Amino acid sequence: MAEKIYSEGIITRLSQYLKFLVNLKDTGKRTVTSIEISNDTGINSAEIRRDLIYFGLKGKRGVGFNIDELINSFNKILGYNERANIALVGAGNLGKAILNYRTLNKFGFKIENVFDNDPNIIGTTIYGRRVKDIAAMQAVAKEKNINIAILAVSEGSAQSVTDLLVSSGIKVIINYTSVPIKVPRTVNVQTNDPIEKLLHTLYYLSNTVYKG
């Protein structure tokens, strides 16, 4: 469990840094400068250096920062060592695309439970995951300790499915629908980039903010 609650701005920036660094490491690079991070994230390089200094991360003049050290440090800060069980709700075309999004696996995010309400889809296997009836959501969420759900349903059913997720104990919802959803203050809703948002939410799941 993280020892300190950091500001929303810091956690958002760290999520952006980590996403960039993991992808950069895949290219074979071992060091990175604050300017390179700035060019990718759009965050001012001076602010990046302040963040790194704040967390005690130091680079070498003329070389930059060690990428592995940065990744390990950011993982620890964001609570990446905490296991996050993710469910996908909606196994239509969008849901299938999300399941086939290989970058999720690269960051260690595995969607092991998929739900839908379509009798023609329930019971089928999509990319190795057997689709469950959404009616079983509450029981499975409790049994598997699922705390994150990706919402990929139709606009018309977005709110009713959200209500089911909330009653099932889901703490974070990644909303892929085009409509806003209403949730209690104890539930966090994220949109847009799935990797950045999943990294972002790990920090809050590793603290007591959304527990209990």
For residue 207, name the pLDDT band (cuts at 50, 70, 90). Answer: low
Alpha-carbon distance 53 to 59, whole Å? Answer: 9
Cα Rg of the chain, angstroms: 18
pTM above 0.85, yes or no: no
For residue 28, name the pLDDT band (cuts at 50, 70, 90). Answer: very high
Residue 1 has pLDDT above 50, yes or no: no
Residue 209 has pLDDT above 50, yes or no: no
- Catalogue all structural domains in the chain, each as residue range(s) with its CATH number: 8-78 (1.10.10.10), 86-205 (3.40.50.720)
Q: 77-109, pLDDT tens digit by residue? A: 887 655 567 899 999 998 998 888 776 766 667
- Residue 72: name the closest of 57, 92, 88 by CA: 57
Alpha-carbon distance 205 to 43, whole Å? Answer: 25
What single string gives the DSSP state of each residue in 22-48?
HHHHTTT--EE-HHHHHHHH---HHHH
pLDDT for 211 equals 45
Distances (CA, A) of 197 to 19, 43, 125, 201: 10, 17, 27, 6
Residue 119 has pLDDT above 90, yes or no: yes
- Residue 137: name the closest of 160, 111, 172, 169 by CA: 169
User: Where would I find the H helices in the chain?
Assistant: 8-25, 34-41, 45-54, 67-78, 93-99, 102-106, 137-144, 158-167, 194-205
Q: 121-171, pLDDT tens digit by residue? A: 999 999 999 999 999 999 999 999 898 999 999 999 999 999 999 999 999
Alpha-carbon distance 111 to 84, whole Å? Answer: 10
